[in-house]
Structure 1
Amino acid sequence: MPSEILAAVMFDMDGVLIDTHQAVAALWEEIARGHGKTLTEEDIRRYVLGRSPEHTVSALFAELEGGSREHLLNQVRQAEPRLDFRGMAGTQRLAERLAAAGVPLALVTSGSKTRVQRVLAALGLASSFRVCVTWEDIQNGKPAPDCYLLGAKRLGVPANRCLVVEDAPSGIAAGAAAGAVCLGLTPGDGADLRERGARYVVQDLADVECRAKPGGLELVFQGNVLVTIGKEE
């Protein structure tokens, strides 16, 4: 099967570049308990992971108004930059390889600018990403396409020539709505990501080989070329 020829890659952060599932879930579970609520795993997956704080509050705390809603959002804003994380080695290696080859990279996240700076510094990737899009940059969070459209615009590359790497259904939906080719990352079978528009699904980016070829790189999974990414002229 001929591979897709693309020009840039946009990575999500939580669940793709770093593992924060437990920390993010614990933060929202603690907040929910303070409001007399108990969140299920499905609540976390559908309304928290990959979502902006504003979306989560609207979905899970719709009864809150005015000052109460803003107080809750401030709790999240103050706690979010300090969340624990660990780097996901497969993603880190792929990002380093792509950046070294001159491929334009963007980090597109529902996290804050402060946490992005902390994460990239800790992983030694601050120089790898030319562009970062954070929750401060957009009004409509994932699954709206705004964040990936903005990332592509800042990279100077049409969204339909970008590969988006995401782990959450909302993020895949955002990338697909922007017109990008989407690669889903999940420990499961990926059916929910494919339903939202993922072209490809893998369990670990360590399984994706980055192979040099004349004029660019090929991303190869289980012997199959997924996409070709051309070097910037």
Structure 2
Amino acid sequence: MTDLVPDRWLTFDGLANARDVGGLPLEGGGRVRPGVLLRTESLEALSPGDVARLTGELGVVQVLDLRKDEELVASGPGALADAGITVHRLSLIPETGRGLPELGADTDPMVGHYLAYLGDRAANVVTGVRRIAERETGATIVHCAAGKDRTGVLVALISSAVGVPRDEVVADYVLSATRIEALFRRWTTGRGEPMPTTADLDRHRPRAEVMQTFLELLDERHGGPVQWLRDNGLTDDELARLRSRLRPAA
């Protein structure tokens, strides 16, 4: 029987960049278990129907919010928090004093930002992975503002740790590029502002070479994503539980 590629996109009234990490292929066969880890942009625009579907049909039990405090003040914690769902605040960017690593002049600046998430907020990154691993049931949403950079880095680490091939990790990251126009249309409409130009929109689109370079630098400097997680406090038992949660039963 053909292993059909699942449609991982999720459609909601108040989200433009929502998808299930479940369905990504795994090394050696099989796919990431669906309904465990969802990735989205910020949640303040969810409709009552969205909230009912997320908490009911999709079984969301916790949210990992990767935004800064100032983003929370501007946009609010989101409708799931108002509905009583547990929200873990795990900002990946310091409020002040952020320093970017030195990289070659030819390296995309976004790679430096991604490495800085790990350098500045290693404890929060590992805590995010741990929160997913420790849940025995229910789904987790991970989000930032647009669901592409901070969310993309955390999901890339998790996907790598459970055995998603590198090219598929990168391809999942790039998928958010198809939703940039929809994201900005929702934001600008809400604020009564004009849409950015095509060139400005393109600058916000995730590019494969950024994630590829970021992961290659993790390989060179830290022995890869899994070793980085271990070196920063994730235990072998927690790693095993993460894999058990996201990999299908043997």
TM-score class, shorter-chain normalisation, is 0.3 to 0.5
Alignment TM-score, normalising by the size of structure 1: 0.35
Which of the pair is proportionally richer in strand? 1
